[in-house]
């Protein structure tokens, strides 16, 4: 028996609505329990700060706890592996950044692929790294530091938050473009590296934005910011590009979920995070931190992840950096 066209259309549209209904309900009821927000570094660094701010905002907005879980190790790859293999239901998320893009090349035996095995959710913030020295350093400018390092080859060390971290790669890019011989001293996170520089146990550090208060207090001397142009947060500090043409290393942070996380949940999180980032009060908080909001669509954040992975692969391969 042939159905009338009008009857057929009514039945098919009803079926489509029924199929979409569970997805709609799932998005409306999410989150129904606390969410893990995994951070791949120790407390106190830029990734941890970005994760804790995001967790606080989402908890207040959505009425469920977004609990930060620090899982340091292998330059954040330990945490990434946990999330990559977690149930893709929106209840386990990962705070990512430049280090994750670097690790895609740095580690050759990972059980996951970045960014292929993650669903991009949203950006959080972007911030320059800072080239900083102890106030007792003889170098007061980048050219003076370059001259000092050339006069003392293999004696001027460079600290970082760990092998493959964003601070490490900022330094490797600097070495690549200047030809300097700067022995690398990796730490397990930004906080212990900064502490050793404050104690004058290091010559220089490419620090993330968590060190900005030490610069403002005069406890560290900033020679440059790593963005292509000067930062409005520290307008008197030159951009590295002014002395080293072609240099640019933007610190960035965002949130991803395991691959195959329901689209409606990832979309909801993107909308909620972007709404939070639009709050002027949070903009003021970012200014205090030396950062700016990174408002993106899911597609644009995914493109950023892919572009950064390609860019830093070149630096890793040039430097010959090997994972621990």
- DSSP class of residue 32 equals S
21: pLDDT strictly greater than 50: no
Q: Could you tell me the CATH number of the domain that includes residue 86? A: 3.40.190.150
Q: pLDDT confidence of 101, banded at 50, 70, 90?
A: very high
Kindly report the pTM of this predicted structure: 0.80
Q: Kindly state whether residue 24 falls inside one of the protein's structural domains.
A: no
Give tens-digit pLDDT for 232-253. 888 999 999 999 999 999 889 9
Q: pLDDT confidence of 222, banded at 50, 70, 90?
A: very high
**Same domain as 309, residue 171:** no
137-141 long-range contacts (CB < 8 A, ≥24 apart) are 137/203, 137/204, 137/221, 139/223, 140/221, 140/223, 141/223, 141/238, 141/243
**How far apart are alpha carbons 193 and 198 in whole angstroms?**
9
Provide the residue range defining the domain that includes 56.
34-127+250-319
**Domain end call among 209, 226, 242:** 242
- Kindly report the backbone phi and psi dihedral angles of residue 279, in degrees, each rounded to the nearest multiple of 5, phi listed first: -70, 120
Question: How many structural domains does the chain have?
Answer: 2
Give tens-digit pLDDT for 59-74. 999 999 999 999 988 8
- Looking at residue 6, its pLDDT comes to 57
Is the CB of residue 133 less than 8 Å from the CB of residue 196? Answer: no
Evaluate the CA torsion angle 286, 292, 293, 294 in order and state its sign: negative
Q: Kindly state whether residue 292 falls inside one of the protein's structural domains.
A: yes
Q: Kindly state whether residue 230 falls inside one of the protein's structural domains.
A: yes
**Same domain as 117, residue 258:** yes
**Same domain as 80, residue 149:** no
**Same domain as 259, residue 178:** no
**How far apart are alpha carbons 212 and 287 in whole angstroms?**
11
Average confidence (pLDDT) over 208-216: 88
52: pLDDT strictly greater than 70: yes
1: pLDDT strictly greater than 50: no
25: pLDDT strictly greater than 70: no
Q: Kindly state whether residue 68 falls inside one of the protein's structural domains.
A: yes
20: pLDDT strictly greater than 50: no
**Same domain as 311, residue 237:** no
**Same domain as 226, residue 141:** yes
Burial class (CB in 10 A: 0-12, 13-18, 19+), 72: buried
**Same domain as 49, residue 101:** yes
**Domain end call among 201, 225, 242:** 242
- Looking at residue 233, its pLDDT comes to 80
Q: Kindly state whether residue 65 falls inside one of the protein's structural domains.
A: yes
Q: pLDDT confidence of 151, banded at 50, 70, 90?
A: very high
**SS3 state at 313:** helix
Average confidence (pLDDT) over 280-307: 89
- Kindly report the backbone phi and psi dihedral angles of residue 36, in degrees, each rounded to the nearest multiple of 5, phi listed first: -85, 130
**Domain end call among 242, 259, 282:** 242
**Same domain as 299, residue 279:** yes
- Greater confidence (99 vs 93) lies with 93
Q: In sequence order, which ranges of the chain are alpha helices (DSSP H)?
A: 5-29, 46-62, 77-84, 98-106, 142-151, 166-178, 190-198, 212-216, 263-277, 280-289, 298-319
Q: Kindly state whether residue 208 falls inside one of the protein's structural domains.
A: yes
- Looking at residue 7, its pLDDT comes to 56
**Same domain as 90, residue 231:** no
27: pLDDT strictly greater than 80: no
Please compute, for residue 238, the number of CA atoms within 13 A of its CA located in the half-sphere on the CB side.
12
**Same domain as 286, residue 229:** no
**Same domain as 273, residue 135:** no
Q: pLDDT confidence of 10, banded at 50, 70, 90?
A: low
80: pLDDT strictly greater than 60: yes
Q: Kindly state whether residue 75 falls inside one of the protein's structural domains.
A: yes
Among 10-19, 105-114, 234-243, where is mean pLDDT lowest?
A: 10-19
Give tens-digit pLDDT for 170-199. 999 999 999 999 999 999 888 899 999 999
Q: Kindly state whether residue 238 falls inside one of the protein's structural domains.
A: yes
Q: Could you tell me the CATH number of the domain that includes residue 222? A: 3.40.190.10
**Same domain as 309, residue 175:** no
């Amino acid at each position: 028996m042939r159905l009338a066209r009008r009857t057929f259309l009514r039945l098919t549209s009803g079926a489509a609505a029924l199929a979409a209904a569970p997805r709609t309900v799932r998005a409306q009821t999410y989150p129904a329990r606390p969410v893990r927000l995994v951070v791949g570094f120790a407390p106190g660094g830029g990734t941890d700060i970005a994760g804790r701010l995001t967790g606080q905002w989402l908890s207040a907005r959505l009425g469920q706890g977004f609990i930060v879980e620090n899982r340091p190790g292998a330059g954040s790859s330990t945490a990434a592996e946990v999330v990559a293999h977690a149930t893709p239901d929106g209840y386990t998320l990962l705070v990512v950044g430049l280090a994750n893009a670097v690790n895609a090349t740095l580690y050759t035996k990972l059980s996951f692929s970045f960014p292929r095995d993650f669903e991009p959710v949203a950006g959080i913030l972007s911030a320059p790294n800072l080239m900083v020295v102890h106030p007792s350093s003889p170098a007061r400018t980048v050219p003076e530091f370059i001259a000092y390092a050339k006069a003392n080859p293999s004696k001027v060390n460079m600290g970082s938050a760990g092998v493959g971290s964003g601070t490490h790669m900022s330094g490797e890019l600097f070495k690549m473009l200047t030809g300097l011989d700067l022995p690398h001293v990796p730490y397990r996170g930004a906080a212990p590296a900064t502490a050793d520089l404050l104690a004058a146990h290091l010559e220089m550090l490419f620090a993330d934005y968590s060190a900005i208060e030490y610069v403002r207090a005069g406890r560290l001397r900033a020679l440059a910011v790593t963005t292509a142009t000067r930062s409005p947060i520290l307008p008197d500090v030159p951009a590295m590009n002014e002395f080293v043409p072609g240099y640019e290393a933007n610190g960035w942070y965002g949130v991803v979920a395991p691959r195959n996380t329901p689209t409606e949940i990832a979309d909801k999180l993107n909308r909620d995070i972007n709404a939070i980032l639009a709050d002027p009060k949070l903009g003021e908080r970012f200014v205090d931190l030396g950062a700016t909001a990174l408002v993106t669509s899911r597609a644009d954040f995914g493109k950023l992840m892919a572009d950064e992975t390609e860019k830093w692969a070149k630096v890793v391969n040039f430097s010959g950096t090997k994972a621990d």
